[in-house]
Amino acid sequence: MVNFILLILIYTGVYALMAIGQNLITGYLGLLSLTQAGFFAIGSYVTAILTTTYGVNFWVSVPLAALLSGFFGLLIGLPTLRLKGDYLAIATLGFGEIVRNILNNWDKVTKGPMGIQRIPMVSIFGMKVSPYTKWGFLALVWVFVVVFYVIFERITQSRIGRAFEAIREDEIAASSMGINTTVYKVWGFVLGASVAGIAGSLQAVFILSVTPSVFTFMVSIMVLCMVVLGGMGNFLAVILGAFIIQFISYFPQLVGLSNVIPPQFKQVLFGLILVIMMIWRPQGILGRQTRGAPGLLRKGGER
């Protein structure tokens, strides 16, 4: 039982990292990205391939995972974010599927549907952090969450964050204030993608194997739900959202009803959460963080 709760908390941490990235993209920039799963997969495979085939240390693979995810973010972001409209959503939707397609088919590097096994455990100062004794791993994951929470919170509280919000509220007004909207949108998207890559690295050393079937569209939907449920534009709320969604996700096993409740049930529930939240509480459970004098800066109507 304790082990099970630790498991949920570890996954909350891994997904919270992705949700933090998604929140920057969706909550702050107001862009719909549907492919945290794709970047998650890229990060996982970077760590898996580097640590097994090339014997690279995990700690070296993490920044590389972030870099490669970010690079792919740049590749999708550049053509789509120059334009207004919702092309990012559809391009990212495709990207997630393509990544899985390539992981399944590029046998030489990714070993196809079988995936990569026997990923070495992480070690810190010579100490192994085994995923089987969950406390250590839990600490490792949450150190990452706290570090990125602080970094992203600082970014969004800065001038850059105000630029993001200006773009979200009115792109034309923002650009007439001298904000280079394309540059900010692309970098925001790239940052959001890189954290998902880092989450992937952690996932790889937690499961100690990677297979393409893990990185389905459902992962992206779960991350989106976490942001929408917690509250767009609020990093703490998003972490809370991550916990709630993971809890729902593991609830059938927790109460021993996993044989009774079909797996599609929770997925339908995730879809319902998106629709219901949008109609009745678009600001999420906790709502957006307001800065300065609350009330004064609020525009009419809920966001």
Partner 1 sequence: MGSSAEFFQHLVNGLTLGGIYALIALGYTMVYGILKFINFAHGDILMAGSYIGLFIYNAIRGQAIGAWTIVAFFIAMLAGMIFSAALGMAIEKIAYKPLRRATRLAPLLSAIGVSFILSNSAAWMWGTRSRKLEYPFHNTPIRIKGVSITPHQILILVVVVVTMIALKLFVDRSRIGKAMRATSLDQDTAKLMGIRSDKIITITFAIGSALAATAGFLIALEIKIYPSMGTMTGLKAFVAAVVGGIGNISGAMLGGILLGLLETFGVALLGIPYGLRDTIAFVALIIILLVKPEGLLGKVEKEKV
Nearer Cβ to partner 1, position 150 or 278?
278
CA quadruple 214, 215, 217, 223: dihedral sign: positive
Nearer Cβ to partner 1, position 83 or 124?
83
Find all residues with CB under 8 Å of 295, minimum gap 6, and list them. Answer: none
Nearer Cβ to partner 1, position 1 or 264?
264
Total number of residues shown for the chain: 303
Nearer Cβ to partner 1, position 87 or 142?
87
- Least distance from C-beta 50 to partner 1, angstroms? 24
Nearer Cβ to partner 1, position 153 or 171?
171
- Least distance from C-beta 37 to partner 1, angstroms? 12
- Least distance from C-beta 66 to partner 1, angstroms? 23
- Least distance from C-beta 225 to partner 1, angstroms? 9
- Least distance from C-beta 303 to partner 1, angstroms? 6
Nearer Cβ to partner 1, position 7 or 19?
19
- Least distance from C-beta 223 to partner 1, angstroms? 12
Nearer Cβ to partner 1, position 61 or 110?
110
196 and 16 Cβ atoms separated by less than 8 Å: no
- Least distance from C-beta 11 to partner 1, angstroms? 20
Residues that bind partner 1 (CB under 8 A): 26, 30, 32, 34, 76, 79-80, 82-87, 89-91, 93-95, 97-98, 101-102, 104-105, 172, 217-218, 221, 224, 228, 262, 264-265, 267-268, 270-275, 277-279, 282, 301, 303
- How far is Cα of residue 104 from the mean position of the Cα atoms in its chain? 22
